[in-house]
Structure 1
Amino acid sequence: MIRRTRRDPAPVASPQPQVPIVVAQVPDDPPDGVGVPYVLRFSAAWSWRLLLVLAAVYVGLRLFGLLSVVLVPVILGLLIAAIASPMVDRLTGSRLPRGLATALVVITGLVVLVTLVTVVAQQFSSGFTELRDSFDDSLVQLEKYLADLGLSRTQVRDAFDRVRDAVSAGSGGNIGGTVVSVTTTAGHLVAGLFITLFATIFLTYDGRGIWAWLVGLFPSRAQSRVIGSGERAWAVLTSYVRATVVIAAVDALGIVLVALILGLPLIVPIGVLVFLGAFIPVVGATISGIAAVAVALVSDGPVAALVMLGGVIAVQQLEGHVLQPFLMGRLVRVHPLAVVVVIAIGGLVAGIFGALIAVPLTAIINSVITYLAHERRSRLAGRAGAAGPVEPDRDSGVAVDPAVTS
């Protein structure tokens, strides 16, 4: 019987401790914005967007300047159409064809305009001589007053002569260039009058058709918002123009009444100047009032000027506290500070025309932005309502939208 010997198990080698291998990794570039303060990132994001907006505005103003000979008469025609369209609508409502109603309103307006220009020209030609004589008398009185202050009449006359010589030298330096400039300006004026007339006729007669064509240029999903914005813009424009016409008529009537009581010359030109000045709020009324006071001062002396100044202040108070809030209401409400600022900007950019359209343009932009913001909030609220009611979670008590948890 063979006996097997028991062998001891072979020793198992213990595992050697493995040295960790460290692999050096080169870090990638940090993501944009890491390490930059939030205020700086926020300011930079707004800055380049603002620069793009300013660049677009600059390009738009440059294009407007190049095309101003055409665009200015068209915009003036739009303003006139805002007055004429309600009249045409009333005549059309009485079963009169729209073409005939448009022709009737336009012809009536032209007759009134020509009559007014004729009367102003006659009054100005007849009253200018009297005003010039009064001005000469005022200069004599001014010389006496300055002489009492220690200045001799010779010094005063020399100063007046130097001013007159400077004006004459500036106006007679380049006769040929002046003639060419006047001829070019006259040509632009005549062309602008015809463009304004045709724009008024077609905007009054077929304004809805032109607006429908413009709306059709936009994508179908945006046409409803374009239509809503256009309706509110047109409502603001018509309300502003009609209210301004009434306010201008009241201002002119008040100033003319004071001028009649004082017996001033150039009554009709003063009334027309006040009427036109009322279309530029605050600034226009101030300038026309200063002109009326100056005429009273030159023609009848300081007492008449003080009376006219009181009349101008009374008319402006009536306009600012009664007529404008009552006629324009909330639809065309622009803060007085904004009025002064936008008129100043409009005057710097586009002269008298810019000051003329600054306030209605601001009111239109404000109305359209308000409408679009309200429409967006309504649309978002409609989407939230369509998602279903908000129910509280049983476990946490936190309000959870069922559409999210399902």
Structure 2
Amino acid sequence: MSRLERVRERLRRAYESGRNAVRAGRERHRARVGTVSVQPGGPDSGVASPATPGPAAPPSAVVVGAESPAAPHPSTASQDDADVPHALRIAAAWSWRLLVVGLVGWALLRIVGQIRIVIIPLAVALLLSALLAPAVGWLLRARFPRSLATAVVLVGGVAAVVGTLTLVVNEFIKGVPELSKKSSQGVRQIQDWLKTGPLHMSDSQLDRYINEGQQWVNDNTNRLTSGALSTAATVAELLTGTLLVVFATFFFLRDGRIIWRFLVRLLPVGARWKVDDAGQASWSTLVAYVRATVLVAFIDAVGIGIFLVVFDIPFAFPLAALVFLGAFIPIVGATLSGTVAVLVALVDSGLVTALIILGVVIGVQQVEGHILQPLIMGRAVAIHPLAVIIGIAAGVVLAGITGALVSVPLIAVLNTAVRRLAARTVPDTPPDAVVVAAKAP
């Protein structure tokens, strides 16, 4: 190596040594100030800052005071989830949960549809048990054995239903011939009104409409016949359902509390008292609803039946019984069953009497909706009319007339149960609970 190259090498080393000393001084100064702290590294490690340009910081450098990247939210699984807008993540979470709930609900409806011959009688048995439970309680307080008290109440209830149906059928059979004669007269009056009334229909138009009706009946004869052929199966299902209702009602009245305690014990220990409290409140709501509905239905039937007797309308007792049964469907039941009484009055006594009966039906419906139900049922089973209408419509679609009867009490029970489960209160200690106290130190 020549002399010049040796001098150049010494100058380069001196320059690098001075530069490293300056860098070390800067790093010590920044460490004292708290701006930059550099982990120990080689002599060539560099630090970059906005104030002092230089080589890029090595991977081991830790910048103190600079903004660190945003940490993912605890609800996100990765940084990618954190980059998705919060509103979109919430909407997606709601969407898949609603899909799961809808799928489970659809599966439950399919299962209920497959075993409706069992579900519907059990629901009717629960309603009858809620109606007859107070009578069983009275007999138990009179020192009757539980099985005997249940049997007496159940037999008495069945005898009352059979006796009422017998009276209705007998009166209906007696009045059919006279009503058929008057119905033909009513049909002729309707034809005369169609000709001379505001419609001014001609004989040819009437004949055409009558022929179209007969043609429709002829075209649907096969469908009507197939329905008649399935009558045997329908009767068998009806008998099976009736027997199941009787036996289920007996055991619900006799062993209802035991059955409920067995079901509650299947739940986790922490949820038992809460569910038991909600179940007891729901049962009280059901009992109050059924008793109030029976009372309201009886008042409706008596009110309309009195006017039917006053105006000498045939089938007054069967029509009153029909109103009584129809009133178990709130809001619309009494009106629909009262429409039958209006039609009978129209056929038997003319338009004026039919309009009077229609006014009576509407008046009774208004009294029921605005006075009787709020006064008798109270707030314990108060349901918004929109919820009642939607529940009745859904019940009719799913299970026909039985669904309409069961839907409203089901909504009332679910309303009470959800409110109790959502309440932030600790239920009372059951009377049969065993509390083990620790010894004082």
Other structure's SS at 1:273 match: helix
Correspondence 1:351 to 2:400: yes
Correspondence 1:372 to 2:373: no
Look up the match of 2:65. Answer: none
Number of residue pairs the alignment of both structures matches? 367
Look up the match of 1:206. Answer: 255
1:386-406: CA deviation from partner (whole Å, max 9, x where unpaired): xxxxxxxxxxxxxxxxxxxxx
Correspondence 1:163 to 2:213: yes
Bigger CA radius of gyration: 2
TM-score normalised to structure 2 length: 0.78
Structure 1 position 30, deviation (Å): 6.5
**Identity score, percent:** 41
Look up the match of 1:266. Answer: 315
Q: Alpha carbons of 1:331 and 1:298: their partners in 2 closer, same or farther (altered >3 Å)?
A: same
Rounded Cα–Cα distance in structure 2 between residues aligned with 1:286 and 1:89: 34
1:262-288: CA deviation from partner (whole Å, max 9, x where unpaired): 111111221111111111111212211
**Any conservation in 1 of the 2:391–2:411 contact (CA below 8 Å)?**
yes
**Any conservation in 2 of the 1:232–1:367 contact (CA below 8 Å)?**
yes
Q: How does 1:232-251 map to 2 (within 5 A)?
A: 232-251=281-300
Rounded Cα–Cα distance in structure 2 between residues aligned with 1:335 and 1:124: 37
Other structure's SS at 1:13 match: helix
Rounded Cα–Cα distance in structure 2 between residues aligned with 1:72 and 1:236: 20
Look up the match of 2:171. Answer: 123
Q: Alpha carbons of 1:174 and 1:295: their partners in 2 closer, same or farther (altered >3 Å)?
A: closer
Structure 1 position 207, deviation (Å): 0.8
Q: Structure 2 regions of 5+ residues with no counterpart?
A: 1-9, 20-43, 47-54, 60-68, 70-76, 428-441
**Any conservation in 2 of the 1:88–1:102 contact (CA below 8 Å)?**
yes
Rounded Cα–Cα distance in structure 1 between residues aligned with 2:412 and 2:359: 31
Look up the match of 2:183. Answer: 135
Structure 1 position 317, deviation (Å): 2.1
Correspondence 1:150 to 2:204: no
User: Which amino acid in the other structure matches residue 213 of structure 2?
Assistant: V
1:354-399: CA deviation from partner (whole Å, max 9, x where unpaired): 221222111111111211222x3669xxxxxxxxxxxxxxxxxxxx
**Any conservation in 1 of the 2:329–2:405 contact (CA below 8 Å)?**
yes
Correspondence 1:302 to 2:351: yes
Other structure's SS at 2:81 match: coil
Q: Residue 340 of structure 1: which of 375, 384, 389 is its match?
A: 389
Other structure's SS at 1:184 match: helix
1:81-131: CA deviation from partner (whole Å, max 9, x where unpaired): 001111001111011111111111111111111111111111222222222
1:217-244: CA deviation from partner (whole Å, max 9, x where unpaired): 1111111011101101101100000000
Rounded Cα–Cα distance in structure 1 between residues aligned with 2:179 and 2:284: 44
Look up the match of 1:231. Answer: 280
Other structure's SS at 2:399 match: helix
**Any conservation in 2 of the 1:143–1:153 contact (CA below 8 Å)?**
no
User: Which amino acid in the other structure matches residue 167 of structure 1?
Assistant: V
**Any conservation in 1 of the 2:124–2:406 contact (CA below 8 Å)?**
no
Structure 1 position 168, deviation (Å): 4.1
1:145-176: CA deviation from partner (whole Å, max 9, x where unpaired): 2222432234313422331342244134574x
Rounded Cα–Cα distance in structure 2 between residues aligned with 1:179 and 1:255: 34
User: Which amino acid in the other structure matches residue 262 of structure 2?
Assistant: W
User: Which amino acid in the other structure matches residue 57 of structure 1?
Assistant: G
Other structure's SS at 1:281 match: coil
Rounded Cα–Cα distance in structure 2 between residues aligned with 1:168 and 1:228: 59
Q: Alpha carbons of 1:156 and 1:43: their partners in 2 closer, same or farther (altered >3 Å)?
A: same
Q: Alpha carbons of 1:173 and 1:335: their partners in 2 closer, same or farther (altered >3 Å)?
A: closer
Q: Kindly report the root-mean-square deviation, in angstroms, between the aligned alpha carbons of the 2 structures.
A: 2.4
Which deviates further from its counterpart, 135-144 or 341-350? 341-350
Look up the match of 1:218. Answer: 267
Deviant stretches of 4+, over 4 Å: 16-19, 21-24
Structure 1 position 320, deviation (Å): 1.6
Which deviates further from its counterpart, 230-239 or 166-175? 166-175
Q: Structure 1 regions of 5+ residues with no counterpart?
A: 1-9, 380-406
Look up the match of 1:106. Answer: 154
Look up the match of 1:387. Answer: none
TM-score normalised to structure 1 length: 0.84
Q: Alpha carbons of 1:293 and 1:38: their partners in 2 closer, same or farther (altered >3 Å)?
A: same
Look up the match of 2:431. Answer: none
**Any conservation in 1 of the 2:335–2:362 contact (CA below 8 Å)?**
no
Look up the match of 2:336. Answer: 287
Correspondence 1:181 to 2:182: no
Other structure's SS at 2:230 match: helix
Q: Alpha carbons of 1:353 and 1:124: their partners in 2 closer, same or farther (altered >3 Å)?
A: same
Q: How does 1:39-54 map to 2 (within 5 A)?
A: 39-54=87-102
Q: Alpha carbons of 1:30 and 1:325: their partners in 2 closer, same or farther (altered >3 Å)?
A: closer
